Amino acid sequence: MLLSVRNLTSYFFLDEGVLKAVDGVSFDIQENETVALVGESGCGKTIVALSLINLIPAPGRIIAGQVLLSGEDVVTTPKDRLRQIRGGEIGFVFQEPGSSLNPVYTVGHQIAEVLQTHRGLTRKEADKEAVRLLGATGIPDPEKRAKSYPFQLSGGMRQRAAIAMAISTRPKLLIADEPTTALDVTVQAGILDLLEELQQQYGMAILIISHDLGVVAQIAQRVLVMYAGKLIESAHVDALFSSPKHPYAQGLLDSVRLRADRNAPLRGIPGSVPDLLRLPGGCTFHPRCSVSDLSCRTQFPPMLPLAGDRSCACYRVHQ
Amino acid sequence: MGDELADRAFIDVPGMPVEMGPPAQGFRTPWSIAQRRFVSNRLAVAALIMIALLSVAALLAPILAPYDPTAIEHVLQTRYLPPSWHHLFGTDEFGRDELSRALYGARVSLAVGVLAMLVAVSVGTLYGAVAGYAGGWIDNLLMRALDAFTAFPKFFLILLLAGVFEADIGVLILIMGLTSWTDTARLIRSEILSLKQRQFVEAAHAIGLPDYLIVWRHLIPNALSSVLVSATLMVGGLIGTEAILSFLGIGVHPPTMTWGNMIQAGQDALFIAWWMAFFPGVLLAITVLSFNLVSDGLRDALDPKALTRRYV
Amino acid sequence: MLWHVVKRVLQSIPLLLGIATILFVVMHLAPGDPVEMYLQKRGERSANGRPFDPQMEQLIRHKYGLDRPIPVQYALWLKNLVRGNMGESFQYRRPVSALIADRLPYTLQLTALALVLGAIVGISLGIASAVKQNSALDKAVSLGSLTVYSIPEFWVAVMFILLFAVTLRWFPISQTRSLDYFLYSTTGRFFDRIWHLILPVAVLTLGSAAGTARYMRSELLGVLNEEYVVAARARGLPEKRVVLRHALRNALMPIVTIYGLALPFLVGGAAVVEKIFSWPGMGALAVDAVGARDYPVIMATSMIAAVLVVMGNLLADVLYAVVDPRVSFDGRRTG
């Protein structure tokens, strides 16, 4: 088991109260597996991703749980080792390629820097390898591009450069936080193909975070569905898309499914995402759920396994 | 609270994540949030209290002052007395009580600062509003003139005008006000410009909200916060400027006392009466510092970006 | 870029012309006849107002061109200005340009030193307090710099003199050199000058450092919240590198340009300090001229001030283009 997350809990301590961004999330990722973490904006997916490398911005903190990378707990590991893990064994690609690259240094310089830090290459070697990596991620004319500043590259190229930087150290796990959300649709496909290619080539696991089910459908093998800080369903991608079990997942898939009848009304989920500072008691979804009953209001349902290597956190499903 | 739609549009504060939805309990307007945050900033509150105290003391100077600040009698016995229970701040070269003089001086120093700020803000608001609202070549012309005006180092300009025109207090206030309006003008103009582009203005128009109502409900609150921050900062600066000018002999002239010219008198007597320069300066420092702290506090409390950061 | 700089300089000329015109108008609107005041100064007019020699008055008026019609005076003034002839001071009866050449080095000794020292101290403190946000150091630096910034500089100067010169006698009270300066050797003179420099430079540095520290702190804090800093940490780069190489480089950019805008300060910013310490600099020259209605000097220093502000702006823009790869000098931000 490459990554084993147990009861990860990260809260933000704000003036207005305690914001429960991630509340008791547990999942596993195997080597070479591509797992997607989906949910609406605001459900806590990004915080999960940042928690995996223990990099949540203040005033947030991981207050409970373990993140076991090949048995080693990232949450408690000392600073020096954490530094090695970050970038070295876990790569991270951010959502906005424009803002995750330092605007005043060239792209090549930034990649070379990572290589020098983690792989101990000399400046010359690192520069050459940076050019090679840029080429490997599909950037044309990599020699010239390496000397370019981020603002001189298009969004797609910037993201490719960011990916090149993330995989330069042959990490075992690549976390991609909404890697295509900020890009044009036409460019998106290219990035996803690149990710798949690199996975094949380097043999790494990918955790892709997205709210776009289309992206998930293309690239993921397994899907984790999050709602308001909690994991509510986990399944293989085909199984989830064909028969979602949790009412929220059903609602999600309903609202994006292609309809035979174009004139049928769009189906959304009634109500809106709760304020993470004031969550409803019991199952956080129950106020919007069409099948909830009294038992749903008392306590959050545990994530229990179902047939077909999947699990779901819903009382009604397991009855 | 009247028009719900307009109020909700106003709550669209940049940086606030859309997914928060309507607050579950209690209506938290940006004003009440700002108020709460300001109050929690203890330094700013202390500074505000200090300003209030000083203002009251200045206003009540005739009642509070232990002696008549202009009374000159028995000079040889009463001159240059060090601080004591009789004269908390000592006496000056004519035997006048420095504490009383400082209290009366506070009136001038504070009044000049505040009045000059009012002049500057009024002129600036008018100028900026005209430029922003009119747009086009009028705006262009006004902005070019503004740039030309800003090409003069502000202090030097005041020095020049005050000295050359032999300003009395009224003229001094005018001069100080008329040289400090540029920042306000830019602020107001940019608020109007951004307001013109905001989508909710189109929406408000679409539902038939008249222009003046838009200006009243949206421009004023938004602009108010930045102008407030800038204005409090300005008062501190203007009080300092008046002090420097009076110190140099160009601002307020004796016998009218202001902290600045009291310090100048103190400089002449530095060897024998350190208290003459010391106390007015301390008061000056405390006053300016208080205005700066309040300004900082207001800025921190009203800054919408600090409400929430991207956290999901 | 050079071409753009030249273009900007040329574009500023109408502005400066406008300023010169306004200056001329203002001076002529001012109350008080300069010639009368000049003569009063020279004691040509007696205390009880007996008229002075009309021939003398005519001579003076003619000499300074004050008997010509206003438009002619204006044209003459502009012509002379462009040539660098700024007239002759009423007070000192010397060419203004000579006065300026004499005084400028003295001012620069104070302001240049203060800027450099202020930068070093201010930037270091700003970095330290931003990195350790909300620590005791941060609170001290924040409050301290705000306090220093709020206290009027002239009072600090007077207090410094009181404390260090009058009471402790560590430093001289004023002037640029001791009375027996001329008896010193070269090194003696050098150290004597430094000894006299210390107090005024200290006062100026305090203000400069406080302002810089505040600015540096707020810029760095802003940058530390940017995503590329988080991303740099996510790549496992050592914290020192993240702060000093990635964050600082970005945060320093606006600071550098601020120093470009400090050009006017370099020449006139120490006026009050110069007066207090009897330091014969440009600022003191300007202040004295205003008090004495020395119009040639007033006009000359005002023009210089305006030119410096315009050049300072230009310098700031140039520096920004040099330091930020995203900005090209014609002001357009690419990307």
Size of the A and C interface in Cβ pairs below 8 Å: 75
pTM score? 0.82
Distance from CA of B194 to the nearest CA of A (A): 25
> Is the pLDDT confidence value at C47 over 90?
no
Backbone φ and ψ of A233, nearest 5°: -155, 150
Asked whether the beta carbons of C291 and B250 are under 8 A apart, the reply is yes
> Is the pLDDT confidence value at C256 over 70?
yes
pLDDT in tens, C155-167: 999 999 989 988 8
**Mutation to test the B interface, candidates C154, C278, C302, most B Cβ within 10 Å:** C154
Nearest residue of A to residue C335 by CA position?
A151
CATH number of B45-302: 1.10.3720.10
| Encoded tokens for A177 | 């936080």
Distance from CA of A104 to the nearest CA of C (A): 6
pLDDT at C36: 65
pLDDT at C334: 47
**Mutation to test the B interface, candidates C19, C24, C139, C155, most B Cβ within 10 Å:** C155
pLDDT in tens, B202-250: 676 677 766 666 666 666 777 788 888 899 999 999 999 999 999 988 8
Backbone φ and ψ of C332, nearest 5°: -80, 135
pLDDT at C44: 53
Angle at which helices B220-248 and B182-197 pack, to 10 degrees?
A: 170
Backbone φ and ψ of A310, nearest 5°: -140, 165
> Is the pLDDT confidence value at B128 over 60?
yes
In angstroms, what CA-CA distances link A53 with A79, A301, B9, C53?
A: 11, 28, 38, 92
Average pLDDT, chain C: 84
pLDDT in tens, A238-290: 988 888 888 888 888 877 766 556 666 767 777 777 877 778 878 888 888 88
A46 touches chain B (CB under 8 A): yes
Average pLDDT over residues B6-25: 37
pLDDT at B115: 95
Task: Name every residue in B having a CB less than 8 A away from some CB of C.
Answer: 43, 147-148, 150-153, 156, 159-161, 163-166, 236, 240, 243-244, 247-250, 263, 266-267, 270-271, 274, 277-278, 281, 284-285, 288-289, 291-293, 296, 309
Handedness of CA C209, C214, C217, C218 (dihedral sign): negative
pLDDT at A294: 81
Higher pLDDT, A268 or C189: C189
**Nearby residues of B237 by Cβ (< 8 Å), 6 or more positions away:** B180, B288
Asked whether the beta carbons of C56 and C39 are under 8 A apart, the reply is yes
| Number of Cβ atoms within 10 Å of the Cβ of A299 | 11
Domains of chain B, residue spans: 1-40, 45-302
Domains of chain C, residue spans: 17-82, 104-323
CATH topology for the C104-323 domain:
MetI-like fold (1.10.3720)
Task: Name every residue in B having a CB less than 8 A away from some CB of A.
Answer: 17-21, 23-25, 37, 40, 308-309, 311-312
Distance from CA of B293 to the nearest CA of A (A): 22
8 Å CB contact of C250 and A102: yes
Kindly state the helix (H) or strand (E) to which residue A24 belongs, with its residue range: strand A17-29
C149 touches chain B (CB under 8 A): yes
Average pLDDT over residues B29-37: 72
pLDDT at C232: 92
pLDDT at C208: 92
**What percent helix, strand, coil does chain A show, rounded to 5?**
40, 25, 40
Nearest residue of A to residue C247 by CA position?
A102
Nearest residue of B to residue C34 by CA position?
B164
How many CA atoms lie less than 13 Å away from C42 in the CB half-sphere? 16
Average pLDDT over residues A44-61: 89
Residues of chain B with pLDDT > 90, as a percent, come to: 27
> Is the pLDDT confidence value at A21 over 80?
yes
| Encoded tokens for A69 | 């990378």
C67 touches chain A (CB under 8 A): no
Average pLDDT, chain B: 79
pLDDT at A68: 92
Distance from CA of C105 to the nearest CA of A (A): 37
In angstroms, what CA-CA distances link A206 with A26, A161, C165?
A: 17, 17, 71
